[in-house]
Every structure is written in C-alpha cells, then in structure tokens.
Amino acid sequence: MIQYAIRRLLWMVAVLFGVMTIIFFISRVIPADPVAALLGPQAPPEVIERLKAKWDLDKPLWNQYGIFLWRAVQGDLGVAISTNRPVTSDLAQFFPPTFELATSAFLVSLLVGILLGVISATRRGKLADHVSRVVALVGISMPVFWVGLLLLLLFYYVLHWLPGGGQLPFYMAAPTRVTGLMTVDSLLAGQPDIFVEAVRHLVLPTVVVSFYGIAVISRITRSSMLDALGEDYVRTARGKGLRENRVVLRHALRNALLPVITTCGIVYARTLEGAVIAETIFSWPGLGRYATNAFLAVDFPAVVGATGFIALMFAGTNLVVDLSYALVNPRIRYT
C-alpha cells in the first residue's frame, strides 16, 4: 500500500502540474487586461506600465510561465491583483469556510444517503422504497441555485426560522481565528453563543449542497444492497439464525460499501462544486466566492492559484478513496 500511495502521490504532482499549466496559458490568452480592469480607462500610462512590471505582465509569455513555475516550486503563487496580497494567504483565509461547508454537506449526504439506500433496499417495492427513490430523483434533478433560493424563501423570508446568509449575524464578532472553521474556533474560544449562531447559519447551505450527494449515495447504496442481499453468504447468515439487523448491517452493508466509497469521491468533488454556487447565494466567505471574484476581475494569479488548489482537493480526495478500500475489504491488494 505504501508503494501504491507513493506512486499515486507522484501522479498527483503530475496532474497538478498539468492543470496549473493549462489554466496559466488559458488565463493569459483570453482577450482581457487585468491592469486595465483594475485601474479603469482613465489611468495614466506610466501607472499601467509600473503595475504590469510588478506582476510580470510586460514580459513574453514563456518568460512569465518560467517565473510562475520557479515560484510555484517554492510555494509562491504570486500576488493577487484584486486583493494585493499573496495568493497563498488568500487561500489560507478563504478555504476553511469552504471546507467547513463542503465537509458538513458531505457528512450529511453520506449518513442520510446510506440510511435511505439501506431502507429502500430492505423494503423493496414498499412505501419507504418509493419515497426514497422520489427523494433521489428530486435531489439529482433540482440545481443547487434553485434549491437554495426556495429554502431561503421558505425558512428565512416566510417562516423566519433560520438566518439568510453569512457565517454570523452582523452584530456578532467572530472568535479568535485558530483553524478558520467558525464552529471549531468558537468552541476553542469558549463562546457557545457564537457556536450556536454559526451552526444556525451553516444549516441552510449545508442542506442545499447535500441534496445531490444524498440522491447519488442513496441510489448507489440501494443498488449495491440489493445485489448483496441476494448473495449466498446472506442466505447462509439468515439460515444460521442471525438477527435481520445483524445480517443487513454486518454482512450485506459492509460488502456493499465498495461502490459507495467510489461514489463518495465523486460526491465530495461535486459538493465542492455546489459549495461555489451556494457561497454566492448565502454570502458565504469561502474559496468559491474568492475564485468567482477573481474570474470577474481577470485576476490571473488568483485564478491559477484557486484552480490549482481545487484540483489538489479533487486529487487528494480520490487518493483517500482508493486507500480506504482496504479498510472495508482487507482482501484487497494494491499493485
């Protein structure tokens, strides 16, 4: 497994190099001038030239690429044009809220999806099965922005049960930043009132982002469970007199989890994608809004840095998924 993990890490480096190279050249060939977009049409020519020299935009394209690679190897992704700060500092600031939202949504998707899939498979053709399949169909069919607007209208505007956006109310100061995760930092600071508000603000975007994951995981779990429940070892376990709950959870579900684990990598990646849209709807100060603003501002360093970081998350998620197979099925061997 160690050798397999090392090979995958090397492939991750190659993938990240390819992704960031492609994004670098795409961002440079689009017909847009980030300095002009930042300063406006009335800026003096000498100011424009000074800023182009600051961000190496006055050099030939291949020279810019060489400078970018040399700095990237040293962990320097440049200075964002729109914020005038190092891109790595921006990523460290904006990624934790996205991670908090995406991880919360993924955990909800995993728990609810597996639960619905198991119930649907064990009650095939009954009311619970039909309800689960309708939930899955709705979750796949409805886009994130539409679900977000509907839930905002219902729970925020009509019922006033949940807050509308942001991580905290405007009158409440954020706790001392330690991890960047609002819920964790509030607990570390010993401020339960901030923790409660952070959780309340997290509920709606988490539900919105988890819709797709619940649908996909429940469908895959149902299909895998139906196959597992028809196997000989399940009939043998029932013939030995084991309780049905033990047969379903200990024997059938464990063997049905491999396709679910594979799906989890795709779901988490889609969760990050949905978080980008949800962050805009719910004014969530995460990496998605940062990347969107960078695209709109034609901020080349921020675009390349944010895209490369998201690619790193995707590749890392796939590696974790592949290595987790052995935890579910010890018979798996990596070659």
- CA-CA-CA-CA dihedral for 247, 253, 256, 259, to nearest 10: 180
pLDDT at 334: 58
262-282: average pLDDT? 80
Is residue 140's pLDDT more than 90? no
Q: How many CB atoms lie within 10 A of CB 112?
A: 18
For the domain 87-229+256-296, what is the CATH code? 1.10.3720
Residue 83 corresponds to which tokens in the numbers above? Answer: 């914020």
pLDDT of residue 236 exceeding 70, the answer is: yes
Q: pLDDT category, 200, cuts 50, 70, 90?
A: very high
What average pLDDT does range 299-304 have in this prediction?
84
Say how many residues make up the chain: 335
Mean pLDDT of 270-298: 82
Q: pLDDT value at position 239?
A: 81
User: So what's the pLDDT on residue 193?
Assistant: 92
CB-side exposure of 141: number of CA atoms within 13 Å? 6
Instruction: Give the Å distances, CA to CA, from 282 to 24, 144, 190, 201.
Output: 30, 12, 26, 9
Domain residue ranges in the chain? 87-229+256-296
Query: pLDDT by residue (tens digit) across 180-197?
Result: 899 999 999 999 999 999
Average pLDDT over residues 269-273: 76
**H helical segments located in 160-299:** 182-188, 192-229, 232-239, 244-246, 253-281, 287-296
